[in-house]
């Protein structure tokens, strides 16, 4: 086992308290052979702390999957807050809805099922109020498309967190044929070129291996 896996487990043991139902969500995902796409507990706590530091009331999540991260975000926002979470896959959104209900966070979460770009277009058209924090964790090739739409649902001070942008260290591989890597490369380059954003990206290791995230703030 990699040294960083044990360190991650040690950190979880000492610093992280998940909602009781979150543990069951992860167990059920593995039992049902779902892809290991949930954020790790340490990352969930990090997102939770970011949302707390921001005092976030309204959070947009792109990529609900089974709702594990959604619960971290719902727990972090103010009592009158809302997490709007977009999920393409009907099966995943059904699982997530049930999980969020069982974790008792339904009153703070709205899941919208369907193509995320279409859902984002709709939110823009319907003049949805801007979000305080946006967690981008969906299909990587579309990250650049989502970024353009996300900016229309932001305001100065909005935090944008992009998951899985390091991809086992492949981010800097300019000759890659991997559509996911190409997607996150274009995303990172768009962040850099955007005059609206101040951004960085950090590499991480832990129970999910070698990956990382980008963090931006809308100027």
User: Given the rule CB under 6 A, which residues bind ligand DHB?
Assistant: 37, 137, 140, 163-164, 180
Should residue 164 be labelled a site residue for Mg ion when binding is judged by CB under 5 A?
yes
Buried b (16+ CB within 10 A) or exposed e, 51-60: beebebbbbb
DSSP class of residue 66 equals T
Nearer to ligand DHB, 36 or 104 (CB): 36
Query: 3-state class of 47 per DSSP?
Result: helix
CB-wise, 138 or 149, nearer to ligand DHB?
138
* Beta strands per DSSP E along the chain: 58-62, 82-87, 109-113, 133-136, 159-163, 197-206, 209-218
Q: How far is the CB of 27 from ligand DHB (least distance, A)?
A: 18
To Mg ion, the closest distance from the beta carbon of 59 in angstroms equals 16
DSSP per residue, 86-97: EES-HHHHHHHH
Measured between alpha carbons, how far is residue 180 from residues 67, 142, 144, 170 in Å?
22, 9, 11, 10
Quick check: 38 binds Mg ion (CB under 5 A)?
A: no
Least separation in angstroms between CB 186 and ligand DHB: 16
Q: How far is the CB of 195 from ligand DHB (least distance, A)?
A: 28
Q: Report the partner that residue 132 touches, choosing among Mg ion, ligand DHB, none (CB closer than 5 to 8 A by kind).
A: none
Q: Which residues bind Mg ion (CB under 5 A)?
A: 137, 163-164
């Amino acid at each position: 086992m990699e040294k960083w896996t044990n360190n991650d487990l040690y950190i979880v043991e000492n610093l992280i308290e998940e909602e009781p139902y979150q543990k069951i969500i992860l167990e059920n995902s593995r039992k049902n052979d779902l892809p290991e796409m949930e954020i790790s507990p340490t990352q969930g706590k990090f997102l939770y702390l970011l949302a707390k530091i921001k005092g976030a009331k309204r959070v947009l999540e792109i990529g609900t999957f089974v709702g594990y991260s959604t619960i971290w975000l719902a727990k972090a926002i103010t009592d009158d807050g809302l997490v709007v979470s977009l999920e393409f896959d009907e099966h995943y959104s059904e699982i997530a809805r049930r999980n969020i209900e069982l974790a008792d966070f339904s009153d703070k979460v709205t899941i919208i099922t369907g193509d995320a770009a279409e859902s984002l277009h709709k939110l823009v058209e319907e003049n949805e109020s801007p979000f305080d924090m946006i967690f981008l964790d969906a299909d990587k090739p579309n990250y650049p498309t989502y970024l353009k739409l996300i900016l229309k649902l932001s305001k100065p001070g909005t935090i944008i967190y992009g998951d899985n942008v390091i991809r086992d260290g492949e981010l800097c591989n300019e000759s890659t044929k991997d559509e996911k890597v190409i997607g996150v490369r274009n995303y990172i380059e768009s962040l850099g070129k955007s005059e609206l954003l101040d951004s960085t990206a950090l590499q991480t290791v832990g129970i999910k291996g070698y990956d990382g995230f980008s963090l931006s703030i809308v100027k």
